[in-house]
Structures are given as C-alpha cells and as structure tokens.
A and B are shown apart, each in its own frame.
Chain A
Amino acid sequence: MRRLEELRAEFDKRKVKVITISTDLPNEIADERHLHGLQATMLSDRDLKVTDAFGLRNTAFHSGPPAGGAEALPVPATLLLDSAGKVLWIDLSKDYQRRSDPSVVLNAMQTYFD
C-alpha cells in the first residue's frame, strides 16, 4: 500500500479512482490506514463476496490467522479498468510474498490508460 501511494501523482494525472479490497473489517482498515497513507477507497470484504465475484479466492493453502479472520483470503491482485468497467490488465500474484513493484503498475497505466 505504501509503495502504491508513490504513484499518487500518476493516479491524479489520469484521474484514476483507486479501490482496495481486503478481508479487514472496516474498523481495522480505519485503524491501519495511517501506516501506509494510501488515498484510496478501502473496502472490507470479510465474507469474501466481492473476492468470489471476481474469482480471486485463494484455493491453495490458507495462510491466514488460525482464528478470528476470514475463512479464506483473496489472491493479491491488481486490475486496471476502463470507464465502462472492462478489465484492461490484471496482475495476479502467484506467491503472496512476491508483489509487483509499483513500476509494473505504472507501465501498465501508461500502456492502457494513456
């Protein structure tokens, strides 16, 4: 999240709306927001309805906390959408410990938004 905020000027230049979706509860998102400072609409999906609608539930080993959390987790993913809601680009993490550098997202925005 903190690294994604490095692209703030690029988002603003293109008037890109940034949405995040995670299994955090709303109050957890509010509590943790200051850690990364991301200016985005941050949504809670503890019941995985949105994750499942996008088909992004991780079906491999569930590596979340053993109790109190969501029953599964989304695969980390970044999507770019056009103004009609069509998916132009997807970056799916094959490994939750490996994330794409913000430069990958910037390259995709330059390719698909410019």
Chain B
Amino acid sequence: MLLGTKLGVGALTLAILTTGLWFYLTRQVALPNDRSVFVLAWMCSAFLGILALIKGTSLVGGIPSALAIIVSSFLTFTIYISPQKVDVVSVIKVGDIIPKFQALDDREIIFESKSLNGHLVLIKFFRAHW
C-alpha cells in the first residue's frame, strides 16, 4: 500500500471517530462550550488528507483522503458559523406578553395562540428537523 494511501486511511479514520463523537454529543445535548478539541482533530484529519494526496495515493486510495478533507473542513466551518444573534430591540423579553399569532400544525390545522390563555406554556423555537 502506498504511503499516501495509508495516510489517507488514517485521515479518514480520524475524521470518522471525531465526527462520530461530535454527533453522539449533539444527540445528548452535551457538546462542550469549548469545541477546540474537535477543530484540532478535524484540522489534523484534513492536513493528513492533503499530505496523503501530496505523497501520492492509488486511484481508490485517494477517496479516503478526499472524504477526510471534505468532512473535516465542512464541520470546522459549521463551528465558525454557529454563533447566533437577534435584534436586541425587537426580541421578546422577560415580562412581555407574547404577541398573538397563528400557524399551521403538522395536520395543517390552524393553531391560534389565544388557545394558550389560562395555561402554563413552554414554547420552543428550533431551526428545523435537519
């Protein structure tokens, strides 16, 4: 096996292990505040992938290198873009009465916020299922 191919397999292995742990912690709602260990691991994976391609791989052996580079780069990018920001003037605050609203539920039935009157309520906003 060419040295580059071995490096590529190592790069992909590191990417898979790191990404697996990442998604496990995500599912557990337990990602740490400091995610630099993940960034470091993914950068090492991407670096190994690039090094593998420079050293030279077989045609099939290049696939793990490319996958390692793509996966590691993409997930590092998602950390970079993950901070959230709202308009501090318009955002709802403690003590405010919620605005009236209506929206469709998963059966396409209109839900009216007035139906919440008289109940303790938890509202959770989330981005989407993906």
Contacts and interface: CB of A to CB of B under 8 A. Distances in A.
B124 A29 contact: no
Given A19-B116, A43-B111, A90-B94, A26 B106 contact: yes
A21 B103 contact: yes
A92 B92 CA distance: 10
Contacts of B126: 1, 20-22, 74, 76
B90 A15 contact: no
A53 B93 contact: no
Contact of A61 (B81, B93, B98): B81
Contacts of B95: 86-87
A96 B116 CA distance: 27
A64 interface: yes
Contact of A19 (B28, B78, B118, B121): B121
Contacts of B123: 19-21, 78-79, 81
A98 to B, nearest CB: 6
Interface in B93-130: 93-99, 101, 103-108, 111, 113, 116-130
B103 A44 contact: yes
**Shortest 5 CB-CB contacts between residues of A and residues of B:** A55-B90, A55-B91, A29-B106, A60-B85, A43-B103
